[in-house]
Amino acid sequence: MLATGRVAKQKEIAQSTRRVANQGKATVLALGKAFPSNVVSQENLVEEYLREIKCDDPSIKEKLQHLCKTTTVKTRYTVMSSETMQKYPELATEGSPTIKQRLEIANEAVVQMAYEASLACIKEWGRGVEDITHLVYVSSSEFRLPGGDLYLSAQLGLSNEVQRVMFYFLGCYGGVSGMRVAKDIAENNPGSRVLLTTSETMVLGFRPPNKARPYDLVGAALFGDGAAALIIGADPTESENPFMELHYALQQFLPGTQGVIDGRLSEEGISFKLGRELPQKIEDNIEEFCKKLVAKAGSGSLELNDLFWAVHPGGPAILNGLETKLKLKPEKLECSRQALVDYGNASSNTIFYIMDKVRGELEKKGRGGEEWGLGLAFGPGITFEGFLMRSL
């Protein structure tokens, strides 16, 4: 009932306030989210986490308590639970070769979350699965052949001729990469409707704390699980309700920074190392990147504070640095900060959780809301992915 009511409300708003999408430009026609059932409150995380992994080191406890405060996260959703640890106690054993067990958990969970997010998205869209022509599937949390794209297609009942594209192990910018490719598909295949899904769990990266690997504790305090789904298409029909035009996309990497975000898959799962210079590298290069995107709006008078913003929050330091560097008003990154509070860093999904919050804010403002905005995400490479978007 709530989803139906929201769709009706959106269509009512659209009739009186909608801007017209540019002919041939890709638009976001619907958005859905899904989460595992296990909700982790940051207030209870330290005691629960240390109990599950049987750790009584006071220095690790103190460090984790500090991180839980500095991340600003309040709640997260996780596939990992006490039941998981009871079934797979070896996950809490340092050096244990557990990649088989981790993939056994992750492969199933990732597709299930993608399925639930897709159903929510398709319901909001209002058309049948038979009208989906392409699938773009994004995940850094599973690994198998065939991939989750095939399992998801079968579970949803998509045509066996649906055109599939799969992205593995792009990390936090994967959602924006998927959206960029979905845009290209939609704009170059008239009448196509692309289902884009992202789905992530931190099961592969879950490890017992080790003083030699301080970043493992950052992950324990910051990362969350979940899934998102979008329907993307150009030239919307009268029955469709687009809320965002994907006007222009840009990707770039920073030469010589491949080691700043480093992830390695081994018998123990996936391990990450983050260089302390990451926030500064982003801050040093973000202004030029944003100006390239804004220039495509064709309005020389458009200032950065005239835009709405959807920025993947790798952590508070990245948002703080970006806000300072670009001289943004505090409210400009509020949707990004609130997504971090509500979901943690959910990797490739997070940009879509933010876009959903941006959508809600723009709906409140009506025609008085910002027309143009930027969507940004950063990840291994260091890679920048960006979108110039237009609110409809």
- Whether the pLDDT of residue 381 is over 70: the answer is yes
Task: Give the pLDDT confidence score for residue 36 in this predicted structure.
Answer: 97
Confidence category of residue 231, pLDDT binned at 50, 70, 90 = very high
- Whether the pLDDT of residue 3 is over 60: the answer is no
- pLDDT tens for each residue of 316-340: 999 999 999 999 999 999 999 999 9
- Whether the pLDDT of residue 16 is over 80: the answer is no
- Contact predicate 21/27, CB 8 Å: yes
- pLDDT tens for each residue of 59-80: 888 888 888 889 999 999 999 9
Q: Regarding predicted confidence, which is higher, 209 or 375?
A: 375
Q: Architecture of domain 26-234 in CATH?
A: 3-Layer(aba) Sandwich (3.40)
- Whether the pLDDT of residue 1 is over 60: the answer is no
Task: Give the pLDDT confidence score for residue 17 in this predicted structure.
Answer: 61
Task: Give the pLDDT confidence score for residue 53 in this predicted structure.
Answer: 79
Average confidence (pLDDT) over 292-301: 88
- Whether the pLDDT of residue 245 is over 80: the answer is yes
Confidence category of residue 217, pLDDT binned at 50, 70, 90 = confident
Q: Architecture of domain 244-391 in CATH?
A: 3-Layer(aba) Sandwich (3.40)
For 121, the 3-state DSSP assignment is: helix
User: Taking each helix axis from N to C terminus, what angle separates 99-125 and 2-17, rounded to the nearest 10 degrees?
Assistant: 50
Task: Give the pLDDT confidence score for residue 77 in this predicted structure.
Answer: 96
- pLDDT tens for each residue of 77-120: 999 988 998 999 999 888 889 999 999 999 999 999 999 999 99
Q: Regarding predicted confidence, which is higher, 205 or 233?
A: 233
Alpha-carbon distance of 80 to 89, in angstroms, equals: 12
For 94, the 3-state DSSP assignment is: coil
Q: Which residue ranges does the chain devote to CATH 3.40.47.10? A: 26-234, 244-391
121 is catalytic: no
- Contact predicate 118/228, CB 8 Å: no
Strand partners of residue 139: 168
Q: Which of 68, 121, 172, 290 is catalytic?
A: 172
Task: Give the pLDDT confidence score for residue 324 in this predicted structure.
Answer: 96
- Whether the pLDDT of residue 218 is over 90: the answer is no
Tokens 């198998």 found at: 144
Q: Name, of 1-15, 123-137, 361-375, the range with top average pLDDT.
A: 123-137
Task: Give the pLDDT confidence score for residue 5 in this predicted structure.
Answer: 59
Alpha-carbon distance of 114 to 391, in angstroms, equals: 26
Task: Give the pLDDT confidence score for residue 368 in this predicted structure.
Answer: 81
Confidence category of residue 57, pLDDT binned at 50, 70, 90 = confident
Q: If you average pLDDT over every residue of the chain, what do you get?
A: 92
Task: Give the pLDDT confidence score for residue 13 in this predicted structure.
Answer: 52
Confidence category of residue 52, pLDDT binned at 50, 70, 90 = confident
Residues belonging to the chain = 392
Alpha-carbon distance of 201 to 103, in angstroms, equals: 11
- pLDDT tens for each residue of 262-282: 988 899 888 888 888 999 999
- pLDDT tens for each residue of 141-161: 999 999 999 999 999 999 999
Q: Residue 176: which H helix or E strand, with range? A: helix 174-188
Alpha-carbon distance of 291 to 252, in angstroms, equals: 14
Q: How far is CA 57 from CA 60, 63, 212, 268, in A?
A: 5, 10, 14, 22
Average confidence (pLDDT) over 131-144: 96
Nearest to 203 by CA among 283, 115, 100, 301: 100
Nearest to 309 by CA among 211, 242, 375, 388: 375
